[in-house]
Structure 1
């Protein structure tokens, strides 16, 4: 990204096109996602599920999902 920003500040448009073409043609990103994409997704989903399962079951948070029947009006004071 640094090379692209440097080329964008350059007045010569050819330099920007060269950096953009070089960036698009890189196979490193595609190879990384092809190799590690699904394991990272599964690991992230498992971690998220585990954390939320812990929060819901073990922290003792009172969730108070519905106030119906729990909210009572106060007595009128004159």
Structure 2
């Protein structure tokens, strides 16, 4: 096995599931940009894309 892959796998095995769960339960998760605006950005991007394709496909 390659040294990089072996090192990555050993790092993954270091923390057990209870340790990870305990660490995550103590963190307060505030909403980030994607939680606040993710759907609006996705919808506006899709609308823009559809509008541009509609314009390009109908222009002579």
Larger radius of gyration: 1
Higher relative contact order (Cα pairs below 8 Å, separated by 6+ residues): 1
